[in-house]
Structure 1
Amino acid sequence: MNAKSAPRAVGEGTTRTRLDRGRGALGPALELVHTGRAPTRAVLTAELGVTRATAGAVAAELEALGLIRVDARPGAAAGSQGRPSHRLSLADEGPVALAAQVHADGFRAALVGLGGRIVATAPGCEIVDADPAKVLNSVVDAGAQLLRETGRRCVGAGLAVPSAVAEPEGTALNPLHLAWPAGAPVRDIFAERIRAAGITGPAFAANDINLAALAEHRHGAGRGARDLLCVATGHRGVGGALVLDGRLHTGSSGLALEVGHLTVHPEGRPCHCGSRGCLDVEADPLAFLTEAGRDPGPEVSLLQQANDLIRNQYADPAVRTAVEALIDRLGLGLAGLVNILNPDRIILGGLHRTLLDADPERLRAVVADRSLWGQSGVVPILACTLDHNSLVGAAELAWQPVLDDPLAALA
């Protein structure tokens, strides 16, 4: 009997037909599992709006691609009603994305799997050279070493930088807290280093706070928000980001939400942008240490010094006064953003998360008092929950092609 006339196994044609029909659902299905919104096949079926058979074929294909696991036996959660369903989870040994972050106090590389899980990290470096090519070469070398050590497949690479990144050029327009030249082609340099290291997959670059917001929206404190505002201060400066309907709002050329240059203290410190009293220099770790009368030390990062001072010496009147001053400035900036953007949730990261923890009622009161929308309805203000959220967000850039079309990305 030749191949053309060979009989198919029972059910083979039906299974293939179901998979063909559901092939367009592979990406949406993977994103549902990736973001924790489909813990079982029954939930996946309901979310996709397909038949149970089609959902089963889609889940099986994602499992065959090494992306998820489907429990062999259906089970029910404790106390649940209805028919047991197969549980879905992310594959423990699945592919990873290479994530890299550069900030004022160093840089770091990590491998990040689906679900925002950090699989491995390289020791951080605390010296940032004035030549971006040298820095990116070092961070890619560290990531390549992690890939060799773990033996994991890489789907691509993402880079987080403390600067607005212009689109479509991929240039760092204002790396104010690095010694890098304005307009450095960071995405092209990063992509070239990725290729030279033999790492497969596309390479991306974006602003670090944008990426933190993306990670928090998918895996952290921003999950479920429709219009999410993220404001954070890391090692130096203040950044902001907006996620609308699950997508980062980056503006016409990637430069939206430069919130660090909102004026919150007109007679305040000179800012790098040429103005005075911007959030960037009035509500970051250096501003806090200065306000508290502390001289920054060289032994640890400014962010850690500021956080440690609040957590360990909050009873000190000078520290408490500095906290109140920064909260008032931050609250004034947030109130202006609420008036303009009308978000349904605000999340704060870095030192701002610590300020929120120290006196949440004061910050919420300032925002409510100084914003129109705050007076008509309280906007939830929450702390970011993910460690290294900019690294996780950088990985999300590399994972996006896989989430869009798993078969094409992994072919």
Structure 2
Amino acid sequence: MTQTRTTRLERGRSALGPALELVHTGRAPTRSVLTAELGVTRATAGAVAAELETLGLIQVDSRPGAAAGSQGRPSHRLAIDPAGPVVLATQVHADGFRAALVGLGGRIVATVPGCMTVPADPVHVLSAVVDAGAELLRGSGRRCLGAGLAVPSAVAEPEGAALNPLHVAWPAGAPVREIFAERVRAAGLFGADGGGGATGTGPTAFTGNDVNLAALAEHRHGAGRGARDLLCVATGHRGVGGALVLDGRLHSGSSGLALEVGHLTVNPQGRACHCGSRGCLDVEADPLAFLTAARRDPGPEVSLLQQARDLLRTEYDDPSVRTATEVLIDRLGLGLAGLVNILNPDRIILGGLHRELLGADPERLRAVVADRSLWGQSGSVPILPCTLDHNSLVGAAELAWQPVLDDPLAALQPV
């Protein structure tokens, strides 16, 4: 092999990760775009795409067709291989859990929910969610390359402890990453036979805060794509969380604890919060607060989030529901205005019940933010709904996919 050929091959292999990330995030739909984004020759881009296809990660259209009215040679289209490997994505929330298999491109291949009272010992629910994921994997016949877990708590780095699981009964500092990794290893999820007995080294289990992971997913695949400084605020089954993407990267602070927006005070005379303060966004703008403001008693049969969504969608004309909507929009807007003053984001995205509130009266929410924030007055900040279903799950999958995006060849070596 000549020196030129060796250099070209090494250059192509070093480009595999960046190329896969470009296809994964939808930024390189064709080989010509891939060539331009990587800054390599057409030959190198073609070799990189071919290698990723050989690895079973993407598909290259072998017979590209020119679009109507276009000029020049048509470019080969690139797409994620729909039959390729998956990762296990899991989420624990106040009303139970959800497990999913997620492919490249953020595509959910299969998912299953589990409803349970989350016990004080996290081992029980993490065992249940991993078992549910293992069952999905056995049914799929896919190879699993990693596992990610989203939890309703700040997760301290690097140890992976849940520091403030306020809406589940876990003790503060529960070692959720360690427990999750042990349960994944015990289940043998990383065997090439779709859940067989391979354990030991190889793919890794990751854990993160659910709203941080939602923001990561939306930035790569959803409403936050293209934003430089993205603020995400969401309420799930209980409480309110926030996350920030700065200059295209998730900002989690020095130890993983940045942006605990749920503990901004938006109603000084309001409800007592679990953190010891009063009137926090966490207890003034979540599903339980909405049901309470609408004078509805929460039922045990479905999650609080689903009850609040159903009420907003089906009974919005009821005066008590409309008033509750306005009250929560005003509280949410006040919190967002404070965050805009501090962070000056170029886009805000809202998830969970907050997405539904935005849809119910977008002008009211935008007016509150503009009226109460300096940057809102000088130029409106776009406020958009999150667009991904189960975005915390997709974000958990992003954690698990990251080693593959960093080095596809190393990640796909036999376990």
TM-score interval w.r.t. the shorter chain?
over 0.9
Residues 87-135 of structure 1: per-residue CA shift (max 9 Å, x gap): 1010111110100100001101110000000011134233322210011
CA distance, structure 2, for counterparts of residue 60 and residue 107 of structure 1 = 39
Is 1:143 paired with 2:136? no
Is 1:56 paired with 2:9? no
Q: 2:229 aligns with which of 227, 230, 244?
A: 227
CA distance, structure 1, for counterparts of residue 185 and residue 403 of structure 2 = 18
Contact 1:35/1:219 (8 A) holds in 2:
yes
Residue 261 of structure 1 is matched in structure 2 by 263
Is 1:154 paired with 2:144? yes
CA distance, structure 2, for counterparts of residue 360 and residue 321 of structure 1 = 15
Stretches of structure 2 that go unaligned for 5 or more consecutive residues are 191-202
Quote the offset at 1:149 in angstroms. Answer: 1.2
CA distance, structure 2, for counterparts of residue 386 and residue 60 of structure 1 = 30
CA distance, structure 2, for counterparts of residue 275 and residue 111 of structure 1 = 39
SS at match of 1:169: coil
Residue 388 of structure 1 is matched in structure 2 by 390
Quote the offset at 1:221 in angstroms. Answer: 0.5
Residues 202-239 of structure 1: per-residue CA shift (max 9 Å, x gap): 00000000000000111110011001100000000000
Is 1:30 paired with 2:24? no
Amino acid at match of 1:135: V
Contact 1:288/1:323 (8 A) holds in 2:
yes
SS at match of 2:299: coil
CA distance, structure 2, for counterparts of residue 64 and residue 28 of structure 1 = 17
Contact 1:18/1:57 (8 A) holds in 2:
no
| Equivalences for residues 134-283 of structure 1 within 5 A | 134-200=124-190, 201-283=203-285
Quote the offset at 1:16 in angstroms. Answer: 6.0
Quote the offset at 1:79 in angstroms. Answer: 3.8
Contact 1:175/1:182 (8 A) holds in 2:
yes
Q: 1:89 aligns with which of 79, 83, 86?
A: 79
Quote the offset at 1:23 in angstroms. Answer: 1.5
Q: 1:373 aligns with which of 368, 372, 375?
A: 375
Contact 1:266/1:277 (8 A) holds in 2:
yes
Stretches of structure 1 that go unaligned for 5 or more consecutive residues are 1-7
Contact 2:97/2:113 (8 A) holds in 1:
no
Q: 2:70 aligns with which of 80, 93, 113?
A: 80
Amino acid at match of 1:350: G
Is 1:113 paired with 2:103? yes
CA RMSD of aligned residues (A): 1.4
Contact 1:216/1:386 (8 A) holds in 2:
yes
Residue 4 of structure 1 is matched in structure 2 by none
Amino acid at match of 2:376: G
Residue 30 of structure 2 is matched in structure 1 by 40
Amino acid at match of 1:345: R
SS at match of 1:124: strand
Residues 11-38 of structure 1: per-residue CA shift (max 9 Å, x gap): x997765332221111110011001111
Is 1:323 paired with 2:325? yes
Is 1:407 paired with 2:409? yes
Quote the offset at 1:80 in angstroms. Answer: 3.3
SS at match of 2:384: strand
Name whichever of 67-76 and 320-329 sits farther off.
67-76
SS at match of 2:23: helix
CA distance, structure 1, for counterparts of residue 346 and residue 411 of structure 2 = 34
Residues 257-297 of structure 1: per-residue CA shift (max 9 Å, x gap): 10000000000000000000000000000001111111111
Residues 39-60 of structure 1: per-residue CA shift (max 9 Å, x gap): 1000100111111000001101
| Equivalences for residues 350-361 of structure 1 within 5 A | 350-361=352-363
Amino acid at match of 1:187: R
Residue 117 of structure 2 is matched in structure 1 by 127
Amino acid at match of 2:354: H
| Count of aligned pairs | 401
Residue 296 of structure 1 is matched in structure 2 by 298
Amino acid at match of 2:57: L
CA distance, structure 1, for counterparts of residue 77 and residue 187 of structure 2 = 38
Q: 1:79 to 1:211 in 2, by over 3 A?
A: farther
SS at match of 2:114: coil
Quote the offset at 1:244 in angstroms. Answer: 1.5
CA distance, structure 2, for counterparts of residue 120 and residue 245 of structure 1 = 32
Quote the offset at 1:169 in angstroms. Answer: 1.0
Amino acid at match of 2:70: S
Q: 1:80 to 1:16 in 2, by over 3 A?
A: farther
Name whichever of 120-129 and 186-195 sits farther off.
120-129
TM-score, length of structure 1 as denominator length: 0.95
SS at match of 1:260: helix
SS at match of 1:160: strand
Amino acid at match of 2:370: A
Quote the offset at 1:247 in angstroms. Answer: 1.5
Residues 131-182 of structure 1: per-residue CA shift (max 9 Å, x gap): 1001111111111111111111111100000000000110000110001111
Quote the offset at 1:403 in angstroms. Answer: 0.6
SS at match of 1:325: helix
| Equivalences for residues 295-314 of structure 1 within 5 A | 295-314=297-316
CA distance, structure 2, for counterparts of residue 345 and residue 256 of structure 1 = 18
Contact 1:112/1:392 (8 A) holds in 2:
yes
Q: 1:340 to 1:46 in 2, by over 3 A?
A: same
Quote the offset at 1:240 in angstroms. Answer: 0.2
Q: 1:16 to 1:149 in 2, by over 3 A?
A: farther
Q: 1:287 to 1:123 in 2, by over 3 A?
A: closer
